Structure 1
Amino acid sequence: MPRTEARWAWWLSNGGEPRNWMFILAPLLGWHADGWAGLGWGVFAAVFTAMLPTLILRFGERRQYWGDRHVRRRQDRIVAAPGVMASVLTGTGLLYLLDAPAAVAALVTAMVSVLLALLVITFFWKVSVHSAVASGSLAVLATVFGPWMLVLTPLVAVIGWSRVRLRCHTVGQVTVGMLIGAAVSTPLYTLLG
């Protein structure tokens, strides 16, 4: 049973990575806002919020700037953050500059705000980015499509469980991540979307 449990935890952790949420959510919200054109904007946003950060993290892993693509050590996260944030902030700026649909720009602004909040905390404590992005994404989905989306809450919980089970985070780090993700993304997305 523990091996099966560990396998499930690994699968849920990888499936619930922040980049995967952005690969799905940005195009979905773009499509919802403006059909095919919006879908294109969503893909554009995903390039800067998911694809390029993934490439930056893999590059740093290969160069041994940090241990792995999940950047598990708190100190390594501080080293990795500037490259990832540069990509996300560049994408955010371009979305506004090029007049992307408000739904896509608001999503990226909400998520970059979550990342900035996590970065501040990371100087003192290691908080779960997986949990923050999962709960922030769920909050945005509920804002856009209605409270029935909250049926996905167990998905956010099992992603948090996977991070604890894999010993990447404590229950407290996962819980704080979930709270920050929802608390920061909801008002920002509501205001800007």
Structure 2
Amino acid sequence: MTPPPTAPRLARVVAEVFAPAVLVSVVTIAISLASSPTVPAGLLWAVVSAGFCAGFPIWFLARGARAGRWDTHHVRDRKDRLLPLSVALGSVLVGLVLLLAGGAPAVLTGLVLTMLVCLALATVVTRWWKISLHAAIAAGTVAITALTFGSWWWAGFAVVAVVGWSRVVTGDHTVAQVIGGAALGAAFGGGLYSLFL
């Protein structure tokens, strides 16, 4: 069945609104502020964690897309994803080291370590299969948010389903790739992060 003409346009909007960099920024800022003893400290940790986990990686992606190294900041070709994923791994690792050295709250360093592990797993899988990072990060964000702020946030998996739909409708992923991404994000993201609470 062919999707209605507005579906691809709506799917692209959903993919941008719930893009990995957006969700990573939101969850790191929220947990930085919630776990810090003062607002200034929370803002400092928010800048460090969001900057290294989302800011620098998306800058690198956008720069590469403008230079023609890959088609868009979503990097549709699986083989082209390995370099930006490796750069993102390095950036998150630097952020984690800075947080640990600066004495950031344990729950925040646990969050960033969780992101590092999940990103490493996704990078390994990407060598052979184009797993959906949108779905992985959306599912991980919902699990982490629910574990941190309350069980009613589990309802956010409705958003994960919409994000998955958007990636299939745009032709960027198969249903299996979306399900695989969501499973990785929920299981490893939520499971590992829960150890730091």
TM-score normalized by the length of structure 1: 0.95
Which whole-Å CA distance do the structure 1 matches of 2:32 and 2:130 have between them?
32
User: Which residue is equivalent to 2:178?
Assistant: 174
Give the alignment of 1:86-125 within 5 angstroms: 86-125=90-129
Which whole-Å CA distance do the structure 2 matches of 1:84 and 1:33 have between them?
24
Cα offset, 1:80, TM superposition: 2.0
Cα offset, 1:103, TM superposition: 2.1
Q: Which amino acid aligns with 1:23?
A: S
The answer to whether 1:25 aligns with 2:44 is: no
- Asked if 1 retains the 8 angstrom alpha-carbon contact of 2:114 and 2:189, the reply is yes
Q: Deviations over 1:30-52 (max 9, x none)?
A: 11112412233122200001110
TM-score normalized by the length of structure 2: 0.93
Q: Deviations over 1:1-57 (max 9, x none)?
A: 722212210110011111001111111111111241223312220000111001111
Gaps of 5+ in 1: none
Give the alignment of 1:21-170 within 5 angstroms: 21-34=23-36, 35-36=38-39, 37-170=41-174
Q: Secondary structure, in 3 states, of the residue corresponding to 2:5? A: helix
Which whole-Å CA distance do the structure 2 matches of 1:30 and 1:123 have between them?
32
Cα offset, 1:109, TM superposition: 1.2
Q: Which amino acid aligns with 2:88?
A: V
From 1, 10, 13, the counterpart of 2:12: 10
Identity within the alignment, % = 37
Which whole-Å CA distance do the structure 1 matches of 2:12 and 2:171 have between them?
11
Cα offset, 1:83, TM superposition: 1.6
- Asked if 2 retains the 8 angstrom alpha-carbon contact of 1:42 and 1:104, the reply is no
RMSD: 1.3
Cα offset, 1:160, TM superposition: 0.7
Greater shift in the superposed pair: 9-18 or 61-70 = 61-70
Q: Deviations over 1:126-181 (max 9, x none)?
A: 00000000000111011111211112111111001000000000000000000000
Which whole-Å CA distance do the structure 1 matches of 2:31 and 2:88 have between them?
22
Cα offset, 1:91, TM superposition: 0.7
Q: Secondary structure, in 3 states, of the residue corresponding to 1:79? A: helix
Which whole-Å CA distance do the structure 1 matches of 2:100 and 2:196 have between them?
11
- Asked if 2 retains the 8 angstrom alpha-carbon contact of 1:23 and 1:43, the reply is no
Q: Which amino acid aligns with 1:157?
A: A
Q: Which amino acid aligns with 1:136?
A: G
Which whole-Å CA distance do the structure 1 matches of 2:86 and 2:118 have between them?
15
